[in-house]
Structure 1
Amino acid sequence: MQTVLIVLHLMIVIALVATVLLQRSEGGALGVGGGGGFMTGRGQANALTRATAILGTAFFVTSLALTLLAHYNRAPKSIIDVPAASRTAPGAPTPVPVAPGSNVLDQIQQIDRQKSGAATPAAPAAPAQPEVPKSQ
């Protein structure tokens, strides 16, 4: 149902844009907007004005219908009913307890150790020595 309404809405939008572009411009606009077309005179103003009003009304009706369909199956939610543990943003880091009086560098190292799962900081590995070919 929603897909059909979206397609109908898009067709109304395209028709509305076309009728607005077909209307005669009222301003000077450097002499660009005047001239003759396939519809001239009073008939053009009445037909295009009426078509614009009808298409505009249809646009608002389909917009409201799409909004109601989008929120039809949604259940109301309350932030009070949600437990405190799940109120954090997804992907947000969990707070890490740090010892009072420690400096920023100690706190960063403690956080890194907790993320890696290591209890003690690992010593840096010695660089590998390239093998020297033996001369004969």
Structure 2
Amino acid sequence: MFHTLILVAHVVVAVALIALVLLQQGKGADAGAAFGSGASSTMFGSQGSASFLSRTTAILATVFFMTSLTLAYFSTQISVPKSVVERVQLEKPIESPKASGPSDVPQLPQK
């Protein structure tokens, strides 16, 4: 159950991380803000959303790596048969054929 909880958290953090990265502006967008393109009227203030989004992205990236390491640890702890032969459980052991005596061996024709 704990494995499933970590897996769900991992997927949610991955989607949130993707969304935050897509929300951030590139470095070239700062040049337009210097000439008064309305950066002071943003929701996050005159500095913009860079520090808030960058900090949140760093936190989510750390959580993502922690959940990745936790899931990797859990996957090594689960014991799974490594081959098909180990998975098959025979109900009865196979009996070896009885050894044939000298009278059972067919004779080759003599020349």
TM-score (norm 1): 0.45
Structure with bigger helix share is 2
Q: Percentage identity across aligned positions?
A: 40
C-alpha spacing 1:38/1:2, structure 2 compared with 1 (3 Å)? same
**Higher RCO structure (Cα 8 Å, ≥6 apart):** 2
State how far apart, in whole Å, the 1-side matches of 2:24 and 2:46 are.
Answer: 11
For residues 78-116 of structure 1, give each alpha carbon's deviation from its aligned partner in whole angstroms, at most 9, with x where no partner exists: xxxxxxxx7xxxxxxxxxxxxxxxxxxxxxxxxxxxxxx
1:110 maps to none
Is residue 21 of structure 2 the alignment partner of residue 20 of structure 1? yes
Q: Distance in 2 between matches of 1:35 and 1:21?
A: 20
Does residue 1:44 correspond to 2:49, yes or no? Answer: yes
Summarize deviations over 1:19-53 as a string: whole Å, max 9, x none: 1111111137xx9xx87654454251110010010
Q: How many residues align?
A: 74
Which AA in structure 2 matches 1:14? V
Q: Which runs of 5+ in 2 are unaligned?
A: 86-111
Instruction: Point out where structure 1 has 5 or more consecutive residues left out of the alignment.
Output: 78-85, 87-136
Taking a change above 3 Å as real, the CA distance of residues 39 and 22 of structure 1, as seen in their structure-2 partners, is: farther
**Matched ranges for 1:35-114 at <5 A:** 38-39=43-44, 41-74=46-79
In structure 2, distance between residues paired with 1:60 and 1:35: 36
Letter in 2 for 1:60: F
- Cα drift, residue 10 of structure 1: 0.7
Alpha-carbon RMSD: 2.7
4+ aligned runs moved over 3 Å, structure 1: 34-41
Distance 1:12 1:35, change over 3 A: farther
Change (3 A) 1:40 1:23: farther
Scaled by the length of structure 2, the TM-score of the pair is 0.54
